[in-house]
């Protein structure tokens, strides 16, 4: 009977482990990460009063978003893109200001919504890195040749955007008195 009780206690203590929902390059996305993001999205949708999409569709959208974010963060890491604590603090301050709050009030609002300030900071850091990756990718693709500049300046649109230029010069005329 003692063995029977012991085996029941061991069986009751078994809890499911977190599972991998996606492998992205050399990183993984865990089910707990996806579930947390789904909850955050559901809270945001509920605050807006919008209809929540079906759970399966929402999970797929969230997973797709997590995969994309993960890829962009890895690109940022390989490119050496970093966000300093000073830049992050400034961004948090800007977010608080846009919401007519101090940083302390922003922290309190996050806590009221059941969100961790540290998690919010890291999310802002990730978003800043992703933004820099995107900016860098766009800048790499934009190449304007000298000929394109000349063509634009010669076009009606280019001429319209140019302001009038004046060339001034001093002309010295010597007089017999000087």
Give the range of the structural domain holding residue 136, as residue numbers without chain letter.
83-140
Which phi-psi region, left, alpha or beta, contains residue 139 (left: φ > 0; alpha: ψ -120 to 50)?
alpha
| CATH number for 108 | 1.10.4030.10
Residues 87, 127, single domain; the answer is yes
Write out pLDDT tens, residues 48-67.
Answer: 888 878 989 999 999 999 99
Judge whether 174 lies within some domain: no
Residue 72 tokens, joined: 């962009």
In a domain, 50, yes or no: yes
Whether residue 64 lies inside any domain: the answer is yes
Among residues 57, 78, 99, the one where a domain terminates is 78
More confident residue, 40 or 177: 40
Tens-place pLDDT, residues 123-169 = 999 999 999 999 988 888 887 788 887 888 788 877 776 765 655 66
Cα–Cα dist 26/11, whole Å: 34
Q: At what angle do helices 55-78 and 117-141 cross, to 10 degrees?
A: 70
User: Which SS3 state, helix, strand or coil, does residue 28 take?
Assistant: strand
Output the pLDDT for position 50. Answer: 81
**Which two structure tokens, joined as six digits, stand for 114?**
């059941």
Q: How many CA atoms lie within 13 A of 65 on its CB side?
A: 14
Count of structural domains, the chain: 2
In a domain, 30, yes or no: yes
Helix, strand, coil percent values for the chain (each to nearest 5): 65, 5, 30
Please count the residues of the chain. 178
pLDDT surpasses 90 at 40 = no
For residues 96 and 136, state if they share a domain: yes
Looking at the structure, do residues 110 and 135 belong to the same domain, yes or no? yes
Phi, psi (deg, nearest 5) at residue 34:
-65, -45
Q: How far apart are CA 129 and CA 77, in angstroms?
A: 9
Least confident of 9-13, 44-48, 103-107, 130-134: 9-13
Comparing 6 with 23, which gets the higher pLDDT?
A: 23
In this structure, the answer to whether residues 58 and 99 fall within a common structural domain is no
Distance CA 32, CA 21 (A): 9
CA–CA gap between residue 22 and residue 29 (Å, rounded): 5
For residues 39 and 52, the answer to whether their CB atoms sit within 8 Å is no
Query: Residues 11-23: what's their mean pLDDT?
Result: 76
Do 72 and 99 belong together in one domain? no
Distance CA 104, CA 63 (A): 32
Residue 28 lies in a domain: yes
For 71-98, the pLDDT digits (tens) are: 999 999 999 999 999 999 999 999 999 9
Please write down the HEC assignment for all residues of 43-84. Answer: HHHHHHCCCCCCHHHHHHHHHHHHHHHHHHHHHHHHCCCCCC
The predicted model gives 109-125 an average pLDDT of 90
């Amino acid at each position: 009977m003692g063995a029977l009780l012991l085996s029941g206690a061991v069986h009751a203590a078994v809890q499911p482990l977190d599972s991998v929902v996606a492998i992205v390059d050399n990183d993984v996305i865990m089910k707990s990460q996806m579930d947390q993001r789904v909850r955050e999205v559901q809270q945001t949708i509920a605050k807006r009063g919008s209809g929540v999409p079906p759970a399966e569709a929402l999970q797929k959208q969230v997973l797709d978003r997590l995969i994309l974010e993960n890829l962009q963060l890895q690109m940022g890491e390989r490119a050496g893109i970093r966000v300093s604590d000073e830049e992050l603090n400034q961004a948090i301050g800007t977010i608080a200001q846009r919401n007519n709050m101090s940083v302390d009030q922003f922290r309190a609002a996050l806590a009221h919504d059941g969100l961790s300030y540290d998690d919010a900071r890291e999310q802002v850091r990730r978003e800043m890195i992703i933004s820099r990756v995107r900016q860098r990718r766009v800048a790499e693709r934009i190449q304007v040749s000298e000929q394109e500049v000349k063509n634009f300046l010669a076009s009606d649109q280019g001429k319209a955007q140019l302001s009038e230029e004046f060339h001034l010069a001093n002309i010295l005329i010597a007089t017999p008195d000087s």
